[in-house]
A and B are shown apart, each in its own frame.
Chain A
Amino acid sequence: MTQKFDAIVKEAEEAMEKKQTNDTTEIYVGCATCGNATGAQSVVQALEKKLDQEKLAAEIKEVGCIGMCFAEVLVDVIKPGRPRISYHGVTPELAEEIVDSYIKNDDHRPDLALGYFGEGGPEDIRQIDTGDVFKNQQRVILKNCGVIDPEDINEYIAQGGYRGLDETLGRKQEEIIDILKESGLRGRGGAGFPAGRKWESCLKPEADQKYVICNADEGDPGAFMDRSVLEGDPHSVIEGMTIAGYTIGSSKGYFYVRAEYPLAIRRLRKAIAQAKEKNLLGENILGSGFDFDLEIFQGAGAFVCGESTALIMSIEGNRGWPKPLPRPRTTEEGLWGKPTLLNNVKTFSVVPQILSKGADWFKSIGTEGSPGTAVFALTGTINRSGLIEVPMGIELGKIIYEVGGGIIDDKKFKAVQTGGPSGGCLPEDKLHLSVDFDTLVEAGSMMGSGGMVVIDETTCMVDVARYFLDFTFEESCGQCVPCRQGTQQMLEVLNDICEGRGREGDIEHLLEIGDSIIKGSICGLGQTAPNPVLSTVQYFRDEYEAHIKDHACPALVCKDLLVYHIDEEKCTACGRCRKACPVEAISGEKKVPHKIDQSKCTKCGICFQECPERFSAVERLTGKENLAWASGKEG
């Protein structure tokens, strides 16, 4: 350890000691975007007010996301000498109760607690870290998220932060690259390109200036992994980028962050300022003679800017248009024509740990071909939505049933979607597959940046494919014909199928267009755009056929193929549906079973939701016969 860094660590440890004297109670409130969205800020205010009223001393820490989105707002309390007790679903009122019961009167309130972390907790509540949510997880990239205060650099340093940078400075650049290559780290943006090789190809070219760019343009619908890392542990990414700057010989880096992530941007700004203050960023870092500065560029909302050349065009002030091949690699000619190293948030954030703990440590996690961990935003119709981190190689089904707690309302699992608009859907018989870069691609999906959406029997797979195609069609930059026209053609065929105009041969037509788009598009957006369709045709062809041949949507989703009908035998004439119908299509009076006027019905589904479950009189019908019946019915 350099003397300079040694002093910084001492300073951080002293600051931490001051913060946590043995008799202070610590309160952690999950204040990432997800927590704030559920009301974390008002919980913090309520806690402050109550503590003040009761004249109790406690330190409130606004921490990042620990990943249990299903349990927000989360408030964890550590009383001196006691384990960390976690309270879930906390409202401002409950926050006051927790202060009153536990902090003031020592009743830990098993009725409100989710459980405790560590050992030796009260017997009437569960231990969380050995429970289903965490026992299959291994937190490497997320190790600090929800644990440290992201706005205090001392907390990061006290957890071992910036040691990787200290280890790096003064070493040969090639040595750093060897460690990365040895570790087998693959880029976490989705494609999984070996990071060591990428860094090496950026070190080689001679140039007066080189750039490091962190791709935080997380545009997949249903993904928030990168945001959580930036919000919960910004220094890890800054440290990783600084190490990258040193290794390739660059003095300037950019964060390309979606403008839709205001909290992440604010925390990054603060973290950059703190790192500069401690001489961990800026000029002559730790006295090594190495200069590195970071700037934040806010993306303006274009999915295609996740593609490296488009992202660079965007920073340069242009439309985010990808550059067609053949073109030089960005590691040779990138931003302003200079060699540029571009990696995902999670890739940079894990680099410091690899350098401080060694390549062997990293290789000991995950599989041979995909070492390390995978971070997923686990969402959809699953009981425990959240941000999870698992070792590569874990069974897909384990994530869904153990970490995620299975399907909501015990519905039947249908598919799991990974890789966002570039990925695919895998059915039940693929749940035994190992989660790693190569296995998922072989099965017709992909790892992607980390969105994992669970789909149950109430979701129509043709509609899911249409949803993604609609997305890529909207986001296609329009430069090349195969992508611009091809996605539109595919979308039109899918619309036809979902709206009852499907024809024999449509499936083959989709496959054919898809093949042309993959072969002819100039960038990754186009080349992967057909994947959601191809994988759903591969595994759920029967649903496509039902739509085309019988005009039936088996999952009862596609509006144009549905008929809403009231079963007269079951209807008790309660009038709820009649009052709720926004277009007054329902007639009936007291004691007279209600009827839907099919010519007025807009199929909004409100009557179906209104009808009490014990009656279930409103039914959804599908298929040619029912549709013909409804269209012949006037009033």
Chain B
Amino acid sequence: MQELQDLTSKALAAFEGKRSEVIPMLQAVQNEVGYLPEEAIRDIAEMIGIPESNVYGTATFYSQFYFSPRGERTVKVCLGTACHVRGGMQVMEALEREMGIDAGETTEDYKFSLERVNCVGSCALAPVVMVDDDVFGRVVPKQAKEVLEQSDPEV
């Protein structure tokens, strides 16, 4: 708990507490902590002097923010238009099956989070899967297992 508090304070140290700083503050906390814990939302609201619900309302509007701890690595399946027409959805389904979770969720062991993204801009490699910064191009569904094995944070 203390650790969370320290990380949050560190992230917020550079801000003055202006209303317009809400989004940069949320981004700074998430960069430091990995997600937005309830306490951080409270701290930001206090610093700015607005209701917590207001900060929460802004944060939930944007897809960048997470409200629960994330897996060690994030598997991002690109479902931009180019990836969609080249079979990205089938790759997503294969990964969901292999990981036993739905898009947007995190595995029980907190190794992986799975999410869909709307274009990583590597359309020539479609369909694309990214695990953190590693790119897997022209992925077919049966490679799902291989991608996960190669990306296991403990290996």
- Name A's B-contacting residues (CB within 8 A): 33-34, 37-38, 69-70, 72, 219-224, 227, 259-260, 297-298, 300-303, 314-320, 377, 379-381, 385-386, 417, 420, 451, 453, 455, 459, 464, 467, 471, 477, 580, 582, 604-606, 609-610
Contact = CB atoms under 8 A, between A and B. Distances in A.
Interface in B117-142: 117-126, 128, 130, 135, 137, 140-142
Given A298-B27, A302-B63, A320-B61, A606 B94 contact: yes
B19 A317 contact: yes
B154 to A, nearest CB: 23
Contacts, number: 133
Interface residues of B, number: 44
B124 A420 contact: no
Contact of B90 (A259, A379, A386, A604): A604
A69 B90 contact: no
Contacts of B26: 300
Choose among B61, B65, B123 the residue with the greatest number of A CB atoms under 10 Å from its CB.
B123
Contacts of A605: 90, 141
B10 interface: no
Contacts of A221: 79-81, 84, 118-119
Contacts of B57: 319
12 contacts: A37-B120, A224-B123, A298-B27, A300-B63, A300-B65, A302-B62, A319-B57, A379-B82, A385-B123, A451-B81, A471-B118, A582-B94
B93 A386 contact: no
Contacts of A464: 84-85
Contact of B124 (A34, A220, A298, A467): A34
A220 B119 contact: yes
Contact of A420 (B81, B126, B141): B81
Interface of B: 18-24, 26-27, 57-58, 61-65, 79-82, 84-86, 90, 93-94, 97, 117-126, 128, 130, 135, 137, 140-142
A604 B135 contact: no
Choose among A37, A72, A318, A580 the residue with the greatest number of B CB atoms under 10 Å from its CB.
A37
B63 A459 contact: no
B118 to A, nearest CB: 4
Given A221-B84, A385-B126, A386-B124, 10 more contacts: A37-B128, A221-B80, A259-B64, A302-B62, A302-B63, A316-B20, A464-B84, A467-B81, A467-B84, A606-B142
A370 B121 CA distance: 27
Choose among A33, A70, A319, A455 the residue with the greatest number of B CB atoms under 10 Å from its CB.
A319
B105 to A, nearest CB: 17
B145 to A, nearest CB: 9
A582 B94 CA distance: 9
A380 B86 contact: yes
A34 B21 CA distance: 32
A300 B79 CA distance: 18
A69 B142 contact: no
B20 to A, nearest CB: 4
Nearest to A451: B81
B20 A300 contact: no
Contacts of A302: 61-63
A580 B117 CA distance: 27
Contacts of B142: 580, 606, 609-610
Contacts of B22: 317-318
Choose among B18, B117, B120, B124 the residue with the greatest number of A CB atoms under 10 Å from its CB.
B124
B119 A453 contact: no
A320 B20 CA distance: 13
Task: Enumerate the 7 nearest inter-chain pairs by beta-carbon distance, A residue then B residue, closest first.
Answer: A222-B81, A224-B121, A300-B62, A379-B123, A69-B124, A379-B82, A385-B124
Given A221-B118, A300-B23, A379 B64 contact: no
